[in-house]
């Protein structure tokens, strides 16, 4: 057991810091620091910068990324420094989700067609999983794909589709067969969003933002070669992907940054003759959160260490999903608490960062963030479902 970094790890950290100094664009940094939502183009710009350094698709096998392989520790250092500097979160749907499916299950043609454009952030993907009647019970999905003359005719409705308004392609779970065991009739299909018959309608969430959508598919024709793997293999692919989705879901480095920010800001808020950070009640909540965060960080490190020795992130990743999202919610809540009355003035996304907001200059995004983060214990398999997974797979109940 050893917690120290090697000399080469330390020099890698220096490389990352130098990279951030030189290549993190000032205009994006300014928006990020003010918590102003980025435009699609800005996210693309940043992802391309990371890619040119070989630090974008770091979890892909190097034969597909063309990158120099990073060790587990180097990946940890990179993610920590990127998060500490509050660089934009990369969009996971293409790079982190669809691509692993394609390089693990796809044909040579599919790999050649899709992986380079994902790597270059030229094509944006979204995820077509949930349906109005299929949330936690994803396998009950009804979107139907019928094979007619080498084409699938797809009909159905997908919902909670994040960033579908910007996406060029969608990867979908569809039903190709009605089988007694519902999981067995599901297939994994790639669909070009510009195909006739697809309509995207925004869903506005309680923070006033447009992040998620309904996607309606009405007799959408999809070439048969867009099927990944075999018909009926979709559920196994989805399970593979869920494990992928959950590793790193805890977002530890970002949480550490936000907790530090909470401490810094609350140390400047006067309460009577002291500061809010000196208030024993508020302080103890911060400390409790910090302890929980440290525990979660080391739970994640233990999981990563097991994976690097050939283990797979099984049901343990459910622990990280639950603990990570609970921490995200707790910290967003403490920010609201910190602000007191100035958490209440409410501005839409496009108003945040303008000079018309009131209160401290960091106040406007705080409440929308808190509200938006109610989603994290719901999405990616609700925390209730994650507890079921742990109960069944680890405790054997």
Partner 1 sequence: MDFTFNEEQTMIQDQVEQFIQKEYDWETRQELSNSDLGFGADNWKTFAELGWLGIAISEDNGGFGGSSIETMLIMEEFGKGLVVEPFLETIVMSSGLLDQHGSDEQKSEVIGSVISGEMHLALAYAEPQSRFNLSDVVTEAKADGENFIINGFKSVVMNGPSANKFIISARTSGKQLDNKGISLFLVDSDIAGLTRTDYKTVDGRRASDLNLENLSVPSESLIGSLDGGFNILDESIDRSILAISAEAVGAMEVLYKTTVEYTKTREQFGTPIGKFQVLQHRMVDMFMEYEQCKSLLYMATMKNEEGAPDAKKAISGLKYQVGKAGKFVGQQAVQLHGGMGVTDELNVGHYFKRLTTIGTIFGNADFHLKQYTSL
User: Which backbone phi and psi does 332 adopt, to 5 degrees?
Assistant: -65, -35
Stretch that binds partner 1, among 76-84, 171-179, 239-247, 371-379 (CB under 8 A): 371-379
- The residue (of 171 and 282) whose beta carbon lies closer to partner 1 is 282
Residue 291 in contact with partner 1, rule: CB under 8 A: no
Element (H or E) spanning 271, and its range?
strand 270-271
Stretch that binds partner 1, among 45-53, 242-250, 289-297, 376-384 (CB under 8 A): 376-384
Residue 273 in contact with partner 1, rule: CB under 8 A: yes
213 within 8 A of 164, measured Cβ to Cβ: yes
Taking CB under 8 A as the criterion, the residue among 14, 260, 344, 392 binding partner 1 is 344
Residue 374 in contact with partner 1, rule: CB under 8 A: yes
Q: Give me the least distance between CB of 126 and partner 1, in Å please.
A: 15
Residue 61 in contact with partner 1, rule: CB under 8 A: no
Residue 382 in contact with partner 1, rule: CB under 8 A: yes
Residue 15 in contact with partner 1, rule: CB under 8 A: no
Taking CB under 8 A as the criterion, the residue among 147, 306, 378, 390 binding partner 1 is 378
Residues 119-138 that bind partner 1 (CB under 8 A): 130, 133-137
Helix (H, G, I), strand (E, B) or coil at 272: coil
Q: Give me the least distance between CB of 35 and partner 1, in Å please.
A: 16
Question: Tokens 């692993």 map to which residue?
Answer: 100
Q: Quote the Cα angle for 64-308-79, to 5°.
A: 70
Give whole-number Cα distances, 316 to 101, 171, 187, 243, in Å.
Answer: 21, 26, 26, 10
- The residue (of 10 and 204) whose beta carbon lies closer to partner 1 is 204
How far is it, in rounded angstroms, from Cα 166 to Cα 39?
10
Residue 208 in contact with partner 1, rule: CB under 8 A: yes
How far is it, in rounded angstroms, from Cα 132 to Cα 145?
17
Taking CB under 8 A as the criterion, the residue among 104, 155, 299, 377 binding partner 1 is 377
Residues 147-166 that bind partner 1 (CB under 8 A): 159-160
22-41 footprint of partner 1 as x/- string (CB under 8 A): --------------------
* Tokens matching residue 329: 């919610």
* Tokens matching residue 351: 């108003």
Residue 314 in contact with partner 1, rule: CB under 8 A: no
- The residue (of 212 and 320) whose beta carbon lies closer to partner 1 is 212
- 171's CB contacts (< 8 A; 6+ apart) are 93, 97, 98, 101, 125, 126, 127, 128, 188, 189, 190, 191, 228
Number of residues located near partner 1, criterion CB under 8 A: 49
Taking CB under 8 A as the criterion, the residue among 18, 204, 295, 393 binding partner 1 is 204
Give whole-number Cα distances, 118 to 39, 67, 110, 263, in Å.
Answer: 18, 14, 12, 38
Helix (H, G, I), strand (E, B) or coil at 43: helix
How far is it, in rounded angstroms, from Cα 289 to Cα 291?
5
Helix (H, G, I), strand (E, B) or coil at 68: coil
DSSP string, 208-230: S-EEEEEEEEEEEEEEGGGEESS
Which residues are at the interface with partner 1 (CB under 8 A)?
130, 133-137, 140, 159-160, 203-206, 208, 212, 269-273, 276, 279, 281-282, 336-337, 340-347, 356, 358-359, 367, 370-372, 374-375, 377-379, 382, 384, 387
């Amino acid at each position: 057991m050893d917690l120290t970094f090697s000399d080469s790890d330390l020099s890698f950290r220096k490389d990352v810091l130098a990279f951030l100094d030189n290549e993190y664009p000032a205009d994006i940094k300014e928006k990020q620091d003010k918590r102003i939502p980025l435009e699609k183009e800005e996210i693309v710009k940043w992802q391309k910068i990371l890619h040119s350094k070989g630090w974008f698709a770091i979890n892909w096998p190097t034969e597909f990324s063309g990158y120099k392989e990073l060790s587990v520790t180097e990946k940890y250092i990179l993610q920590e420094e990127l998060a500490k500097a509050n660089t934009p979160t990369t969009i996971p749907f293409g790079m982190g989700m669809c691509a692993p499916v394609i390089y693990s299950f796809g044909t040579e043609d599919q790999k050649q067609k899709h992986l380079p454009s994902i790597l270059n952030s030229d094509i944006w993907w979204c995820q077509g999983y949930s349906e109005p009647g299929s949330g936690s019970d994803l396998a009950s999905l009804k979107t139907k794909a019928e094979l007619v003359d080498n084409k699938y005719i797809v009909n159905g409705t997908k919902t909670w589709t994040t960033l579908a308004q910007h996406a060029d392609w969608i990867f979908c779970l569809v039903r190709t067969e009605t089988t007694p065991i519902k999981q067995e009739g599901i297939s994994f299909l790639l669909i070009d969003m510009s195909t006739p018959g697809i309509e995207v309608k925004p869903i506005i969430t309680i923070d006033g933002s447009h992040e998620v959508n309904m996607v309606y598919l009405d007799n959408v024709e999809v070439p048969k070669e867009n099927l990944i793997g075999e018909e009926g293999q979709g559920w196994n692919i989805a399970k593979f992907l869920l494990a992928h989705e959950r590793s790193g879901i805890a977002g530890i480095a970002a949480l550490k940054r936000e907790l530090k920010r909470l401490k810094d800001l609350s140390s400047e808020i006067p309460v009577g003759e002291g500061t809010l950070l000196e208030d024993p009640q508020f302080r103890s909540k911060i400390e409790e959160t910090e302890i929980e965060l440290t525990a979660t960080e080391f739970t994640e490190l233990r999981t990563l260490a097991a994976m690097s020795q050939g283990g797979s992130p099984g049901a343990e990743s459910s622990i990280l999903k639950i603990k990570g999202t609970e921490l995200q919610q707790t910290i967003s809540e403490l920010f609201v608490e910190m602000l007191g009355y100035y958490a209440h003035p409410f501005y839409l996304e496009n108003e945040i960062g303008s000079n018309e907001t009131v209160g401290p200059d960091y106040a406007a995004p705080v409440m929308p963030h808190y509200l938006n983060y109610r989603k994290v214990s719901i999405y990616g398999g609700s925390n209730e479902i994650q507890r079921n997974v742990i109960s069944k797979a680890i405790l054997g109940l």
